[in-house]
Structures are given as structure tokens and as C-alpha cells.
Chain A
Amino acid sequence: QSVLTQPPSASGTPGQRVTISCSGSSSNIGNNYVYWYQQLPGTAPKLLIYRVNQRPSGVPDRFSGSKSGTSASLAISGLRSEDEADYYCAAWDDSVSGPVFGGGTKLTVL
């Protein structure tokens, strides 16, 4: 069972805006940065968002992150078929002195 809680699945149609939630606690999301990964089928995870809302070079601005209290969200606007993937949230956890991950959300583009 993952320390951070994500919905197992999400879906949307092309062009839609979807959000994926990530719930944690004060030892992780509440007091530390949140980051998000995209994992396309059969590939390694790719960093999408770091430090809550920063995008690495090359990540489209359709992807955005936010945080409120002990929860965080990833928003994807202008949904595309190539966005179909698993998405994981993560954050440093002070109680384990290391990063913890969510259980992942499988995004389906209908």
C-alpha cells in the first residue's frame, strides 16, 4: 500500500482537461515538494513536474501541478491520445527520510 493516495484510474476525451489528485500527510506533501511522473507503456518514468509546479525543459505547458495542504494535483489540459499513460505523484517524506510514491493513476484517453 502506497504512502501517497491516487485514484487508480482517470479518463477524458481529446481536448478535455483532466486532473489527477494525490493525497498525503504533513510528513510528505504537507511540508515538502511534490513531483509527478509520466510512464508510457513499457518505458521508464519521465519527470513531468518538480517542486510542485515546475516543468523540466521539453515538458509542454499543458501539464501543470499544484498543492494545497497535504494534497496535490496534476492537471492536463488539451488532452491528447499520447497522454495515455500511468501517472505517479511523489514527495520527500520526513518520517522515512526518503521519497515516497503514490500508487499511480492510469489515464485513458477515450
Chain B
Amino acid sequence: QITLKESGPTLVKPTQTLTLTCTFSGLSLNTDGLGVGWIRQPPGKALEWLALIYWNEDKRYRPSLQSRLTITKDTSKNQVVLTMTSMDPVDTATYYCAPWVNDAFDIWGHGTLVTVSS
């Protein structure tokens, strides 16, 4: 059974850096073809892909946010970490992680709501 859990601060101040951790079980980032990604959803708005990291360290970022995002993985800990710099109130959203399998984000975590406010 695959499970994922997002963790990190629920409140960050403008200009601060956000660090989110996705801890998963039931899959391994040593598996050929597997990726893990981050997606966010501002309150009442649509889903927005942020970043994706593959088993072979290949990384992809949303072009409009690329300068602010860094995605890394720790295969031994079954974790993927996303950092986002220069946080702004418009970055307030629920942040999800999910494995990229069969050309889709498969099972999603419950998500973590991050509010950006002073």
C-alpha cells in the first residue's frame, strides 16, 4: 500500500523560505521510471504543478517558479523535499506530493495548508 505524507510549517512570513517534506512508503525512488512531484492548490482555485524529481535525479520545475524552487530526494529515507524561496501571500495554498507513475500523479498525500502572512 502506497502512502505519502506532507509535512512542514503551516505559517510562513513573506520573504521567508518554505521547506516541505514528502515522506512516503510502499514505493522506492530507486525504481526505474518513478518520479515524485509537488502540486499546490490555492484556496478555491485549480491545481498547479510545481516540481518533479525522477529516480535518476532528473528534475523538472514549473518555468514561472523555477528560480524559486529546489527539489531533492533522500532515497534512504524515502523522502522528497521541496524548498521555495521568497514566499508571498499569493503562495498560500495546500501543497500536495504524489508519485509520478504511468504518466500521471498517482496516489496523493492529504496535503498540507501553508499560509503566508506577516
The reply to whether B104 and A47 form a contact with Cβ atoms under 8 Å apart is yes
Give the docked Cα–Cα distance between A8 and B9 (Å): 32
How would you classify the secondary structure of chain A's contact residues: helix, strand, loop or mixed? strand
Q: Which residues of B contact A2 (CB under 8 A)?
A: 46
Q: Which residues of B contact A97 (CB under 8 A)?
A: 60
The range of chain A's interface size is: 20 to 34
Q: B46 touches which one: A44, A88, A99 (CB < 8 A)?
A: A88
Within 8 A of A (CB), among B83-118: 96, 102-111
Q: Which residues of B contact A92 (CB under 8 A)?
A: 103
Q: Which residues of A contact B107 (CB under 8 A)?
A: 47
**Number of residues of chain B lying within 8 A (CB) of chain A:** 21
Q: A44-B109, A44-B110 are in contact. Are A88 and B104 (CB under 8 A)?
A: no
Q: Say how far A7's CB is from chain B's closest CB, in angstroms.
A: 13
Question: Taking the complex as formed, is A90 at the interface, i.e. its CB lies under 8 A from any CB of chain B?
Answer: yes
Within 8 A of A (CB), among B29-63: 37, 46-49, 52, 60-63
Q: Which residues of A contact B109 (CB under 8 A)?
A: 44
Q: B105 touches which one: A33, A47, A100 (CB < 8 A)?
A: A47
The reply to whether B106 and A101 form a contact with Cβ atoms under 8 Å apart is no
Give the docked Cα–Cα distance between A62 and B63 (Å): 36
Q: List 20 A-B contacts (CB under 8 A).
A: A32-B103, A35-B105, A37-B47, A44-B110, A44-B111, A45-B108, A47-B104, A47-B105, A50-B106, A54-B102, A90-B104, A98-B49, A98-B52, A98-B60, A98-B61, A99-B37, A99-B52, A101-B49, A102-B46, A104-B47
Known pairs A37-B105, A90-B105 / 17 extra A-B pairs, C-beta < 8 Å: A44-B110, A45-B47, A45-B96, A45-B105, A45-B108, A47-B104, A47-B107, A50-B104, A54-B102, A90-B104, A96-B62, A98-B49, A98-B52, A99-B37, A99-B105, A101-B48, A103-B46
Q: Which residues of B contact A (CB under 8 A)?
A: 37, 46-49, 52, 60-63, 96, 102-111
